[in-house]
A and B are shown apart, each in its own frame.
Chain A
Amino acid sequence: MSGLFILKRLAYMVFTLIGISILIFVLTRVLPGDPARLALGPEANEEQVEDLRHALRLDRPLPVQYIWFLQNLVHGKLGKSLVTHRDVAKDILQRFPATLELVLVSLGLAVIIGVPLGIVSALHKDRVVDYLTRAVAFTGVSFPRFWIGIMLQLTVAYRLGLLPVTGRIGGLAPPHVTGLFLLDSLIALDFTAFGDTAIHLILPAITLSLSPLAQITRMVRANMVEQIHRDYVTVNRTIGMPETLLVYKYMLKNAFSATLTTVGLMLGWMLGNAFLVEQVFSWPGIARYGINSVLRNDFNAIVAVTLVVGLGYLVINFVVDLLYRFLDPRIRLEK
């Protein structure tokens, strides 16, 4: 049963990925301007451009190009970036950890703050705390991420000078192991680098975590409120289950497994918002790389980035599904 489920999901993922690749591929091929010339830059002459066009198979019909692209893809070749003149795969590998670190930290933040907030709000339904929390939650989803990021820079970084304005690390990066600076610096026992990375993370992470935080708070609150009126709560209360245990273990697990279903979607949006946040904080991740490639019509890069993001999104949802089934026996046991 479960094995079958996984197989199904994997098949579905592959299918969707192919879909994405076609979509984006076609999209990028109708980009205005001549990629070859863009690649060669201002001083190139016609013959140079022609050579490159041929090298990039741009003189072939679209389907042929696509097949060729798939073949390369299978061999892990995503083609060369027109801007960096490097293998796109290389570029992305170099930048992906930065984005991953940012997203993970932000999500952590969102959960760590959002869940307790939601609970408090639920337990004090329709009281001041509740209204405050909900107001916060609403503003959280409504903030333009880029703007709140800039505002944080303006106040915390410029005016108060408490935190760095942009960038991922001030000093030199710790020796590369995972590419996640927090981890690497700990592995290297380089606490300077750790602190350095940490302070650089604070503002972007806060910015990126705002809307998921808000959503988690809203979901947890809603689900907790729903739990409060469940019979099992009354029962447990009366027959002597301690409140802490009841709320933070028994009710929370119910509430959270319900919340979890949206986390997948949320992470998808976070990947999207990362594009704004990385732009604001000039965070050297794939999102910023993606924006630059879009602005420069760097079609190989665009395809690659979109595929990676799409893949990431699918994987996340896959994991979330599994987790959900693990958390909630009802799904697992029902046929």
Chain B
Amino acid sequence: MNTTSRQSAQYKSGFQRAAYRFFRSPLSIIGLVIILVISVVAIFAPLIAPYPKDAISGVHFGNSFQPPSLAHLFGTDEVGRDVLSRVIFGSRLSLKVGLVVVTISVLVGVPLGLVAAYVGGPWEVVIMRVTDVFLSIPPLVLALAVAAVFKPNLTNSMLAISFTWWPWYVRLVYGEALSIKEEDFVEVCESVGASKSHIMFKEILPNMASTLLVKVTLDIGYAILMGASLGFLGVGAQPPTPAWGTMVSLGRVHLSRAWWLTTFPGLAIFLTVLGSNLFGDGLRDLLDVEMER
């Protein structure tokens, strides 16, 4: 209603409105809950996991392929390790992947995007063209190619993913910055002779914080998914590391014998990604950010 004017005292604060909008959608609450649960599990893994030893080393050949039971809720794997414990510890690795990848991408992508948009000139051309090149290869494909260069292990797969991820931030930041650049307060700063870096990082950047926040939230999920995918294709973490993607791909060999080996780690990946998706989407509504994907 265009008639409600905004000065009157009893109006809700910006935060209240946000919260109101957020909690209006059950989906985003579900997302929030999932994220919290998984984080807690990751943090307290050693306390929660019934057989912490199994996550790292420890083989009990006598006890292999036990179907889910009270002793082993998720069953045991081909060398008799407790799948539940491994899944629990896997959450740590997954979150690590998500966070590391996104952090690197932000650190690399954001400055480049700002420079391209604000400084412009040859910088803009170079940065944006390079970005285009990266963006025109499907991330998974590129990550795969990069991962192949190094020894297959968790760190390298994280690097590989980051290598394919930063351009998305360049693109996003670039677009945002271009529009913000046009606004008055930027011109004001320029007129009072603020330094380029000041304007970029102190004036423009804060104005796209919410957009970035949403992007990051969504991306943590997608990065985890990508990490799992690489693991599945065999360029991820190596045994006995309990990474979800790797567990799924190793479990496949025994699919017809032991469904639980593939089912539970996969489920874990799914929930994590779903969580960050729902939450990120809720965040998007809440900060009303316009963004595809």
Contacts and interface: CB of A to CB of B under 8 A. Distances in A.
A272 B262 contact: no
Interface string B224-239: 0100110011110000
B274 A139 contact: yes
- Interface of chain B: mostly helix, strand, loop or mixed: helix
Interface centre among B133, B234, B270 (most CB of A within 10 A): B133
Interface in B133-177: 133-134, 136-142, 144-151
Interface in A47-62: none
A310 B132 CA distance: 11
B292 interface: yes
A135 interface: yes
B51 interface: no
B107 interface: no
Interface in A1-51: 12, 15-16, 19-20, 23-24, 27-28, 30-32
Interface stretch (A182-190, A246-254, A287-295): A287-295
B93 to A, nearest CB: 15
A147 B151 CA distance: 24
B79 interface: no
Interface residues of A, number: 55
Contacts of A23: 133-134, 137
A294 B148 contact: yes
Interface in B189-242: 221, 225, 228-229, 232-235
B281 interface: yes
Contacts of B133: 16, 19-20, 23
B269 A144 contact: yes
Contacts of B19: none
Contacts of A271: 138, 141
A121 interface: no
Interface of B: 26-27, 129-130, 132-134, 136-142, 144-151, 221, 225, 228-229, 232-235, 245, 248-249, 252, 255-256, 259, 262-263, 266, 269-270, 273-274, 277-278, 281, 292-293
